[in-house]
Copies of this chain bind each other. A is one copy, B any other.
Amino acid sequence: MRATVLVRPKEGILDPQGQAVESSLRQLGFPVDDARVGRVIDLEIDAKDADAARAEVELMCERLLANPLIESYEIDVGDDA
């Protein structure tokens, strides 16, 4: 089963990569007010159904994929995720 995880820097947490992107886009002339950069992780996992897959991915986020102190995550599960 496919699952997609979006990991983003939390509100208020410094995001140097986002700042660099914002400043580069502005230098190119784009009307950008803010940019934040995070990660998208696409997973293919063995799970009997979507609920089991989501629970599994939630654990993966807590243990490896995200740093809960400074990042938030969002999980999307499904064959078309």
Q: Which residues of chain A have a CB within 8 Å of any CB of chain B?
A: 6-8, 18, 21, 24-25, 28, 30-47, 56, 59-60, 63-65
Copies of this chain, tallied across the complex: 2
Kindly report which residue of chain B lies nearest to residue A6, judged by CB atoms. Answer: B40
Known contacts A40-B8, A40-B38, A42-B38: does B31 contact A63 (CB below 8 Å)?
no
Q: Is the CB of A36 within 8 A of B41?
A: yes
Q: Is the CB of B64 within 8 A of A44?
A: no
Query: Could you tell me the distance between the alpha carbons of A30 and B38 in the complex, rounded to whole angstroms?
Result: 23
CB < 8 Å: which of B34, B45, B63 contacts A43? B34
Q: Is the CB of A32 within 8 A of B38?
A: no
Known contacts A56-B30, A59-B30, A60-B30: does B42 contact A35 (CB below 8 Å)?
yes
Given the complex, which residues of B lie within 8 Å of A42, measured CB to CB? 8, 18, 34-38
